[in-house]
Structure 1
């Protein structure tokens, strides 16, 4: 049977002082004299006393835990983001409780509910590709749990979020291909409910029109991000009535699937058809075939900024608990096109 953990009451009884005096002494409160502090802290050390975290959390009404919900940690984009989140959280004495939705809406809802039961102080979320309604996040307002979204954000205005400028990134990508002489450029876009999908499409349209080229909507094909869906999208573009010479893919994983399909059809990568994508994942440098360029989305920075934003919201809640702040914070991180072969 394990030994019973010593308590503040036991220390107080042995030293014949009050429980509140022991508590203040353990927290180095200035109202307690040096001799009393020394006696209390010495006895606590001898007894191997450890603070009751549950009691502390109850007293402070916070658990110093941040919840994080991501689609897939296996994707290096999200593993980089979680590193940024943990860095800021750890510096501020918070721990991180993480869940993966695996792009399953029902699983996402279950994790939100579990985070609520675990009494996380706040939540950082990148939604699943299939999330179209947001009631499960709305329910957190009643529990007074602030939420910050990043990268994949809900299509609604009343949220706090951090995102990368996909509009600018797409314009950079299209302009790069146009400068290389491409005029018939296809796009394998993502699920239609994602804000990032709409931003990519808008960037494509703006770049084409600014260069006095007609926008052909049939050159944009959506994928649900699975390999099968991407193969189908690639097939549509390669068999298009207009000869497609370049394809912009939703991300590096989609680009890899599209290039794999193209190779099977004897298409020479970045010769017959050029590929440009998003995310600038490190693994692309080890591939035999890689996109000619990729839009850097800075996931580590997004993770850092999302955590900083959430901590600011928690501090504001603590300082001004009785008032509701209608302001919703947003941060847009600049994107940057990274060209892998300047001589291509």
Structure 2
């Protein structure tokens, strides 16, 4: 380390450049240093550190011992450069504070870290422009793969195609836009909505409303199709007055729920886009003096753990398996990034997990 200081000679101060170094701070131990000390080649050291059976046990032991003595740590950066990789998977999602997405992150991190990949996490906050900027940065930095759940504002997807054109693998999860040829992982929301609506009908509910998500989201259309199919099978009316779309904010949910309650024949049950929407809508009902699960009941999606602690929770919620969605997304990226240069690229994978209706109140 170089340090400038005052040095006194013969009573007169002089400004000189003093040099003092700590070997451990100055030098990074490399394979070449181990090879020099053991009088073997760097390639032999590299193979020995990987416990290659072509290297004799005695040499392997000597190399590991010297590596420990010198406090050698393999450089992940150097390894990735040799492989033409960055060692980074990026994940772009709307809001980490939502329990569903935080569980997806848990599934991603556990498997990615186990394969020595770093996960870079970004939030779009459901804004298209922010999502576009994030993907532009990721494209420029050539990450090894991207996992993306699109923002509710996103209706154009050239920024996703830009990643694919740069040969960066992309796995779309949960919120999956149409007509993009790439890997996909999600849960069958149409089936989930169908089963939830059928379950309500089987419990005697006849005026079942839908508090759906915003129109651009494919997940909203999936819920709508499942809901309508179930009503038709049960010979129940499909009424526009009972179908509302919310922008997923508490204020808009409150407005739409108030409109449902103002209809001449209010609903006796509501299928909500997710548990957050259901909880916001239930607040409106309470303020109007309605008793949850007596005057009006709810079924939703996401199966939030916190609802187990409520006195009057939604009757049921559709489990979407977010942890498994995260793990599956990483499995797909690993299958692509770990393929050898001579191997043909895997075909695009589409994995749709089976939903599970979790009944909380019988």
TM-score w.r.t. length of structure 1: 0.91
Aligned-pair distance for 1:300? 1.3
2:53 pairs with 1:15:
no
Corresponding pairs, count: 339
Q: Contact (CA 8 Å) 2:314, 2:361: kept in 1 or not?
A: no
- What SS is found at the alignment partner of 1:154? coil
Write out per-residue CA displacement over residues 100-133 of structure 1, whole angstroms, 9 at most, x where no aligned residue: 2221222222322333444421111211111211
Write out per-residue CA displacement over residues 226-263 of structure 1, whole angstroms, 9 at most, x where no aligned residue: 01110111011111233321111100000010001111
Determine the structure 2 residue equivalent to 1:182: 205
2:230 pairs with 1:207:
yes
Question: Which structure has the larger Rg over C-alpha atoms?
Answer: 2
Q: What does 1:43-82 correspond to in 2, within 5 Å?
A: 43-82=66-105
2:164 pairs with 1:144:
no
CA distance in structure 2 between the aligned counterparts of 1:181 and 1:258, rounded to whole angstroms: 21
Match of 1:270 among 293, 302, 319: 293
Q: What does 1:74-153 correspond to in 2, within 5 Å?
A: 74-153=97-176
Determine the structure 1 residue equivalent to 2:327: 304
Structure 1, 130-139 or 101-110: larger mean CA deviation = 101-110
- What SS is found at the alignment partner of 2:26? coil
- Unpaired runs of 5+ in structure 2? 2-24
Q: Contact (CA 8 Å) 1:155, 1:194: kept in 2 or not?
A: no
Match of 2:265 among 221, 242, 246: 242
Determine the structure 1 residue equivalent to 2:216: 193
CA distance in structure 2 between the aligned counterparts of 1:80 and 1:19, rounded to whole angstroms: 43
CA distance in structure 2 between the aligned counterparts of 1:64 and 1:93, rounded to whole angstroms: 7
Match of 1:222 among 245, 248, 263: 245
- What SS is found at the alignment partner of 2:285? helix
Q: Which has the higher contact order (CA 8 A, sep 6+)?
A: 1
Write out per-residue CA displacement over residues 35-81 of structure 1, whole angstroms, 9 at most, x where no aligned residue: 44344333322221222322211101123322111211111111111
Determine the structure 2 residue equivalent to 1:282: 305
Determine the structure 1 residue equivalent to 2:356: 336
Q: Contact (CA 8 Å) 1:155, 1:193: kept in 2 or not?
A: no
Q: Contact (CA 8 Å) 2:205, 2:269: kept in 1 or not?
A: yes
TM-score w.r.t. length of structure 2: 0.87
Structure 1, 195-204 or 262-271: larger mean CA deviation = 262-271
C-alpha RMSD of matched pairs (Å)? 2.0
CA distance in structure 2 between the aligned counterparts of 1:301 and 1:263, rounded to whole angstroms: 35
Aligned-pair distance for 1:320? 4.2
2:191 pairs with 1:171:
no
Aligned-pair distance for 1:88? 2.1
